[in-house]
């Protein structure tokens, strides 16, 4: 009777026997009313303990698969037939054939695949993971790790001491006008963008984006199908004068203190014109201040958020570059009237940050360790930039042109080559990069490579440039 049951020694026996029996009952190989062998016999036939068989029988009885009658034995439950029969086929297939799934969801309109592990050297956005002060970070973690108040639920807005620390940091370092109640902790920059899309966009609203620009922002802001309207660049910054010809928009995404990826900085008169344009046109500016801590070609500028009281600016930043990507912590700074709608969206969509992570960052900032870390990283990245620029100028002369303004944590190398193919080939050599053309909307693209040198060692910088030279010289 049970001669078709095979148990292996790799998995828990009780679990296997439960699965084998319940499957046979569900697909009616063991029909309703059929008697099962006594547990003693089943145990003997399968060479397992009788306790295991009894436990499985009990579980199957509790769940309604089996029923037992005193003195008669154990039977497949008589209700099962009535549950299956009136409903037609579907459940009568042999085991393993499976059911027909309901209609599957469509994949989004976007082309590229979800990003997998992106921790190769030269991957744009990746900081130097080896230079992270892991010992002092862990000491801070240990101060916080046992606190009971970090175990339960907390405010959707984010851990209050972290919001306070971020507000103080942004006021003094970035000129941002903010108090802690305007700060919303996010799960990296991507969630910040996603929440803004959810809160601000109605069907048909246009979104203005720098072209070339940051792809993650386009994916998040365009996720409900709103049109993405490219803003052309002029001298590596968004062309403020071009805005007048682009029609109305609800959101404008920009990187005014360091255009991504080209590196230009909007000067004061351009900033004023941008804010005035936004105000006159009822458009919100999303200011992504993604790497202002590390500018080398120019001194970092204050954020446009701080230029005017109540400017129509939604400011965002993250700790992915200043601390570690793996922390997944970013922040939004929004006018008071925008806080509640964003909190609503965050509550509904989920995505809060573990309290211990938030508390550790808060102490790391308030104790002054964050500022010291930034100071060290600024020097380290500046040294790497100088080496990288020197290598590129010496060895790639004529093959690719560095865009000096882009230097922060990455450098753009422009050149006339198939940048997608080159980027993929570099990956096989162990070097990350993104093709410049992928940052463009539409067909009119320029080619080149975006190389994040912050994550590369001196040796990797030399090696990567040599590898690039050999590839480009062959063309």
Assess 123 for contact with its own copies (CB under 8 A). Answer: yes
3-state secondary structure of 435: strand
Token couple for 107? 């994949």
- Cα separation, 34 vs 75, in Å, equals 5
Report the length, in residues, of the chain: 475
**Region of 79-87, 364-372, 381-389, 395-403 interacting with its own copies (CB under 8 A):** 79-87
Helices 355-366, 160-174: axis angle to 10 degrees equals 40
The helix (H) or strand (E) run that includes residue 253 is: strand 251-254
Size of interface with its own copies, in residues (CB under 8 A) = 133
Measured from the CB atom, the residue of 339 and 471 that comes closer to its own copies is: 339
- Cα separation, 164 vs 374, in Å, equals 19
Measured from the CB atom, the residue of 79 and 179 that comes closer to its own copies is: 79
Assess 146 for contact with its own copies (CB under 8 A). Answer: yes
- Residues 191, 197, 199, 200: is their CA dihedral positive or negative? positive
Tally Cβ neighbours within 10 Å of residue 36. 22
**Region of 33-41, 127-135, 395-403, 407-415 interacting with its own copies (CB under 8 A):** 127-135
Residue-wise burial string across 421-458, b where 16 or more C-beta atoms lie within 10 A, e elsewhere: ebbeebeeeebbbbbbbbbbbeeebebbbbbbbbbbee
Q: How far is CA 6 from CA 37, 46, 95, 192, 371, in A?
A: 16, 8, 15, 52, 63
**Region of 325-333, 379-387, 391-399, 416-424 interacting with its own copies (CB under 8 A):** 325-333
**Region of 103-111, 379-387, 445-453, 459-467 interacting with its own copies (CB under 8 A):** 103-111
Assess 63 for contact with its own copies (CB under 8 A). Answer: yes
Assess 133 for contact with its own copies (CB under 8 A). Answer: no
Assess 118 for contact with its own copies (CB under 8 A). Answer: yes
Min separation Cβ 132 and its own copies, Å: 6
Assess 237 for contact with its own copies (CB under 8 A). Answer: no
- Cα separation, 388 vs 458, in Å, equals 8
Q: Are residues 182 and 334 in contact, defined by beta-carbon separation less than 8 angstroms?
A: yes
Assess 172 for contact with its own copies (CB under 8 A). Answer: yes
Assess 95 for contact with its own copies (CB under 8 A). Answer: yes
Assess 324 for contact with its own copies (CB under 8 A). Answer: yes
Which has the closest alpha carbon to 192: 311, 328, 73? 328
Q: Within positions 2 to 61, which residues make up the interface with its own copies, using CB under 8 A?
A: 11-12, 15, 18-19, 22, 26, 59
Of 2, 129, 233, 387, the one binding its own copies by CB under 8 A: 129
- Cα separation, 265 vs 407, in Å, equals 12
Min separation Cβ 26 and its own copies, Å: 6
Q: Within positions 173 to 212, which residues make up the interface with its own copies, using CB under 8 A?
A: 175, 186-194, 198-200
Of 10, 111, 280, 459, the one binding its own copies by CB under 8 A: 280
Measured from the CB atom, the residue of 70 and 106 that comes closer to its own copies is: 106
Min separation Cβ 221 and its own copies, Å: 10
């Amino acid at each position: 009777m049970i001669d078709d049951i095979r148990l292996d020694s790799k998995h828990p026996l009780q679990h296997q026997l439960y699965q084998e029996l319940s499957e046979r009952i569900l697909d009616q190989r063991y029909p309703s009313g059929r008697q099962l062998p006594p547990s003693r016999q089943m145990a003997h036939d399968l060479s397992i303990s009788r306790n295991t068989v009894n436990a499985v029988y009990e579980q199957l009885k509790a769940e309604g698969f089996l029923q037992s009658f005193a003195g008669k034995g154990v039977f497949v439950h008589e209700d099962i037939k009535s549950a299956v029969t009136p409903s037609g086929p579907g459940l009568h297939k042999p085991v393993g054939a499976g059911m027909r799934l309901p209609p599957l969801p469509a994949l989004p309109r976007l082309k590229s695949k979800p990003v997998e592990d992106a921790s190769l050297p030269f991957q744009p956005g990746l900081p130097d993971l080896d230079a992270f002060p892991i010992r002092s970070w862990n000491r801070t973690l240990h101060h916080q790790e046992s606190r009971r108040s970090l175990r339960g639920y907390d405010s959707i807005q984010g851990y209050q001491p972290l919001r306070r620390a971020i507000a103080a940091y942004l006021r003094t370092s970035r000129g941002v006008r903010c108090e802690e109640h305007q700060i919303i902790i996010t799960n990296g920059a991507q969630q910040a963008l996603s929440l803004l899309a959810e809160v601000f966009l109605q069907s048909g609203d246009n979104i203005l984006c720098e072209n070339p620009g940051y792809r993650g922002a386009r994916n998040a802001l365009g996720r409900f199908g709103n049109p993405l309207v490219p803003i052309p660049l002029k001298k590596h910054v968004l062309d403020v004068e071009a805005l007048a010809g682009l029609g109305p928009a609800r959101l404008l995404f920009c990187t005014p203190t360091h255009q991504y990826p080209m590196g230009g900085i909007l000067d004061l008169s351009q900033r004023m014109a941008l804010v005035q344009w936004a105000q006159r046109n009822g458009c919100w500016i999303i200011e992504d201040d993604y790497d202002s801590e590390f500018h080398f070609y120019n001194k970092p500028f204050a954020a446009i958020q701080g230029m005017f009281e109540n400017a129509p600016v939604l400011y965002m930043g993250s700790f992915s570059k200043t601390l570690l990507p793996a922390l997944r912590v970013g922040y939004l700074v929004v006018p008071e009237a925008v806080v509640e709608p964003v909190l609503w969206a965050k509550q509904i969509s989920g995505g809060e940050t573990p309290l211990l992570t938030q508390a550790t960052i808060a102490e790391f900032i308030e104790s002054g360790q964050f500022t010291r870390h930034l100071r060290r990283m600024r020097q380290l990245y500046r040294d790497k930039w100088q080496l990288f620029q020197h290598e590129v100028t010496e060895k790639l002369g004529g093959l690719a042109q560095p865009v000096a303004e882009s230097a922060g944590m990455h450098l753009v190398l422009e050149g006339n080559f198939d940048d997608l193919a080159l980027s993929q080939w570099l990956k096989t050599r162990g070097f990350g990069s993104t093709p410049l053309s992928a940052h463009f909307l539409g067909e009119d693209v320029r080619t080149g490579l975006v190389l994040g040198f912050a994550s590369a060692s001196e040796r990797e910088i030399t090696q990567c440039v040599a590898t690039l030279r050999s590839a480009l010289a062959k063309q």
